[in-house]
Amino acid sequence: MDYNMNNWPFQWFGFWKEYGIGYENCPSMHNFIDIEANSRYNKPALISYLKHSSILVTTSGANFPSPISGKVGNKEVSIKTDGKWLWFDAIILSIEFDGLVIPTRWYNEIEAKGFNCGTVTEDMIAGLNWPPLNS
Amino acid sequence: MTTGLNLYFDGAITTERNNYDWESIGKLMYADAGFRTEMLSRNPKSADWMSNASSMEVMEGLMPVAVSSGVGSWAGTRFLSTNSAASGAIAYGNVNDPFLIYAQRAKPYENYLDVVLHGSPRGVWYRPDMMIDHRVLANLIRNSPQFAGQPIRLLSCNTGRLADGFAKNLSNALGVGVRAPEDIIWAFPDGKLSIGPTYIGGKSFVNFSVGIKK
């Protein structure tokens, strides 16, 4: 897979092959590091958006150190959704500290919504595009 | 925030000045840089208390009940404790942590007492920046009103991963059987649990008995 911020056809994000077993079909986080593009983000608004969306499932952050810096969250990490996109919120630390970028298409959608997630319905959740993980 | 209150220890943080436990304060100063700074600013003798306290390992017996604190990095933070956890389960950590909230909704397993907190193969997190060992957790469970000698189900990542790891040691320390996940545990909002490297699961709980490897 040769995906990057401008070539990402999916609506899930933040699952990296560097996490190991179960994540083999995911892209490398290294393909999504762009410090210059990251610096142009409205970071407080973006991070707030990513933090305060609906939780689908949650676990311990210590299991998912950053593949770039090794930085480990000391709280929970969750798979979250805004009703259309689905993401693993360990990306928040990497956006803050590693220069991680999200798909341009997604960032533009978030910005167009004024960084306001809105209401997530059960129908939206049922229609989500999940990553190709293995058990 | 409760900054400004006079907080002391008598086995737990308290606002009452009785039964000072300087040894425990010294041990906690090791564990918490914010608390250390606060204590050093309050009382120069606290440097001696800390130097006499050897390591976190000897924290057994400390903090049977966590309370709101106004010192150091504890300031303004409420922690779940045996007194505030949902009925039928014990949880330790930040009250707003969704993992702790969802995992406490899990369907009970036989007569097991659920203990919910973030974990690893060798230790668990009493709060986000404090890892404790099996002896400290055993003491906390023993002091919990929910514990009446029943077996324990740990809802805590990777605590059952090793044959001689956290769950096995907790079982020996408490003298009861312990059931713990062999991999990462995921909690869904409806209380459903899955165990595995991904949320899809595929792994399971492992049973540990007193004195016998799994």
Chain B interface includes A58 (CB < 8 A): yes
Number of other residues whose CB lies within 10 A of the CB of residue A2: 7
Evaluate whether residue B170 is within a structural domain: yes
Q: Is residue B51 part of a domain?
A: yes
- Name which of B186, B188, B195, B203 to mutate to probe chain A: the one with the most chain A Cβ atoms within 10 A of its Cβ: B186
| Chain A contact set for B201 (CB, 8 A) | 135
Q: Which of A19, A57, A60 sits opposite B118 (nearest CB)?
A: A60
User: In the listed set B36, B55, B77, which residue is the last one of a domain according to the structure?
Assistant: B77
User: Of B56, B77, B98, which one is at a domain's C-terminal end?
Assistant: B77
Are B112 and B10 within one domain?
no
B190 inside 8 A of chain A by CB: no
Do B102 and B203 belong together in one domain?
A: yes
**What range does the domain containing B55 cover?**
1-77
Q: Are residues B88 and B59 in the same domain?
A: no
A1 belongs to a structural domain: no
Report the alpha-carbon distance of residue B184 to residue B118 in Å, rounded.
Answer: 10
Block mean pLDDT (10 aa), chain B, length 214: 33 42 62 69 70 44 35 41 54 91 95 96 89 93 92 98 97 97 97 97 97 62
pLDDT at position B81: 40
∠B77-B178-B32 over CA atoms, to 5°?
Answer: 25
Residues 82-121 on A with a CB inside 8 Å of B are none
At residue B127, φ and ψ (nearest 5 deg) are -150, 170
Q: What is the ipTM of this complex?
A: 0.95
What range defines the domain where residue A37 resides? 12-126
* Chain A CB within 8 Å of residue B204 CB: no
What is the token pair recorded at B18?
């009785």
Residue B19: its pLDDT value, please? 40
Say yes or no: B66 and B99 in one domain: no
Q: How many domains does chain B have?
A: 2
pLDDT at A121: 95
- Say if B37 falls within a structural domain: yes
Statement: the pTM of the whole predicted model exceeds 0.80: no
Answer whether residue A134 is part of any domain. no
What pLDDT does B16 receive?
41
CB contact under 8 A, B197 and A58: no
d(CA B67, CA B192): 29
Q: What is the mean pLDDT of chain A?
A: 95
- For residues B88 and B153, state if they share a domain: yes
pLDDT in tens, chain A (135 residues): 589 999 999 999 999 999 999 999 999 999 999 999 999 999 999 999 999 999 999 999 989 999 998 888 778 999 999 999 999 999 999 999 999 999 999 999 999 999 999 899 999 999 999 999 987
Same domain membership, residue B175 and residue B146? yes
CB atoms A79 and B199 under 8 Å: yes
Residues of chain A neighbouring B198 (CB-CB closer than 8 A) = 22-23, 133-135
Adjacent-strand bridge partners of A12: A86
A8 and chain B: CB distance < 8 Å anywhere? no
How many domains is chain A partitioned into structurally?
1
> Residue B127 has what pLDDT?
83
- Asked, for residue B213, whether it belongs to a domain, the answer is no
What b/e readout covers B3-16, taking b as 16+ CB neighbours within 10 angstroms?
A: eeeebbbeebbbee
Residues B109 and B160 in one domain: yes
Q: What is the pLDDT of residue B52?
A: 62
**Same-domain pairing of B86 and B41:** no
Dump the DSSP string for B8-60. EESSSEESS--S--HHHHHHHHHH-HHHHHHHHHH-TTHHHHHHH---GGGGT
And the tokens for A65?
Answer: 């150190």
Cβ-defined contact of B199 to A76 (cutoff 8 Å): no
Residue A2: inside a domain: no
**Of A21, A74, A76, which has the smallest distance from its Cβ to B99's Cβ?**
A76
Residue from the list B128, B129, B186 with its beta carbon closest to the beta carbon of A58? B186
For residue B2, being part of any structural domain is answered with: yes
B191 touches chain A (CB under 8 A): no
> Looking at residue A116, what is its pLDDT?
94
Residue where one domain finishes, among candidates B77, B94, B128: B77
Do A23 and B196 count as a contact with CB atoms less than 8 A apart?
A: no
Same domain? For B113 and B197 the reply is yes
In a shared domain, residues B73 and B84: no
List the single residue in A61, A62, A135 with the smallest CB-CB distance to B202. A135
B180 to chain A nearest CA, in Å?
Answer: 15
